[in-house]
């Protein structure tokens, strides 16, 4: 049954857009549907599904290119297109977070020499707001001043939420915006019941662990990689593949077929 369904679309018997029979070949080796009039390349369809699948598995572009016998630049370019789509989706879909919110910043990339933590040079500063039992929002910031961080907090959170932060001075005015709980890491590492920032710290670990395989990310591209991690983290409960294909293909009518094609590649 799986092979029959696969052949319907990959061999050009059925249109992936309108789901009807009636495809015919063009001189340029593409196929065109006599019903919806759309045309596409069968080879490109299968290639793109393979590339999406390797992106979903978090395999590097270089390794993916080797395994599916494509030029590295083709796969890398596709992966970056995927990240741009994800970034646009995250920025367009973001809503004001509320309730119990964990707030923190982390430093990515750069050389290990010299100062670490706040004030570290050659690092990319990522600011994050995590809604407990909800989503995380991330943003690359130029600095960790009160003006910069409070502007992001006011833009992305609802007033009178409950905020959990460390004792960094830039958060001092949060008490005017909601209930502010300060975690003193020198005195209490973890309060497993409530007063902690464990979940957002878990996100930093999640992202940094995955960045190790890239052997360096340019500062220009860091916003795209961070948004990819935000999207993956927000869709950890098995929904990443479906959500990603939906925003990639846009056309809701065909994204379920794409999920089927990709999952079939596991076997």
pLDDT the model gives residue 49:
80
Domains (range + CATH), the chain = 2-92+239-264 (no CATH), 95-234 (3.30.420.10)
pLDDT 10s digits, 169-198? 999 999 999 999 999 766 655 555 678 899
Task: Check if the beta carbon of residue 100 is closer than 8 Å to that of residue 164.
Answer: yes
Residues making up the chain, counted from first to last: 267
C-alpha–C-alpha distance, residues 95 and 231, integer Å: 14
pLDDT 10s digits, 147-161? 999 999 999 999 999
| Other beta carbons less than 10 A from residue 117's beta carbon | 9
DSSP state of 110: S
Q: Average of pLDDT values for 240-248?
A: 66
Q: Average of pLDDT values for 257-267?
A: 53
Burial class (CB in 10 A: 0-12, 13-18, 19+), 159: exposed
pLDDT the model gives residue 116:
53
DSSP labels, 159-203: TT-EEEE-S-GGGGGGGGTSEEEE--TTT-S--SSSS--HHHHHH
Q: Which residue has the tokens 């593409």?
A: 30
pLDDT the model gives residue 266:
44
DSSP state of 133: T
pLDDT 10s digits, 81-128? 999 989 988 998 889 999 999 999 999 986 555 555 565 667 899 999
Query: Which of 37, 64, 15, 25 lies closest to 257 in space, CA to CA?
Result: 15
Higher-pLDDT residue of 90 and 261 is 90
């Amino acid at each position: 049954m799986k092979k029959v369904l696969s052949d319907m679309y990959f061999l050009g018997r059925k249109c992936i857009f309108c789901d009807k029979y009636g495809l015919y070949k063009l001189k340029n080796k593409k196929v065109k549907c006599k019903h919806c009039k759309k045309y596409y390349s069968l080879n490109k369809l299968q290639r793109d599904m393979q590339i999406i699948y390797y992106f979903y598995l978090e395999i590097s572009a270089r390794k993916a290119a080797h395994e599916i016998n494509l030029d590295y630049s083709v796969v890398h370019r596709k992966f970056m297109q995927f990240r741009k789509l994800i970034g646009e989706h995250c920025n367009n879909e973001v809503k004001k977070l509320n309730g119990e919110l964990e707030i923190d910043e982390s430093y990515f990339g750069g050389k290990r020499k010299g100062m670490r933590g706040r004030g570290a040079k050659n690092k990319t500063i990522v600011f994050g707001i995590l809604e407990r039992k909800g989503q995380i929002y991330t943003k690359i910031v130029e600095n960790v001043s009160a003006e910069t961080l409070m502007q992001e907090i006011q833009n992305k959170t609802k007033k009178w939420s409950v905020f959990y932060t460390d004792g960094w001075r830039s958060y001092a005015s949060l008490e005017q915006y909601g209930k502010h709980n300060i975690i003193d890491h020198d005195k209490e590492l973890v309060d497993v019941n409530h007063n902690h920032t464990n979940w957002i710290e878990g996100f930093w670990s999640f992202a940094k662990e995955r960045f190790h395989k890239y052997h360096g990310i340019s500062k220009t591209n860091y916003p795209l990689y961070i948004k990819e991690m935000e999207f993956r983290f927000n869709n950890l409960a098995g929904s990443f593949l479906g959500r990603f294909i939906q925003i990639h293909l846009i056309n809701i009518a065909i994204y379920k077929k794409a999920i089927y094609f990709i999952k079939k590649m596991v076997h």
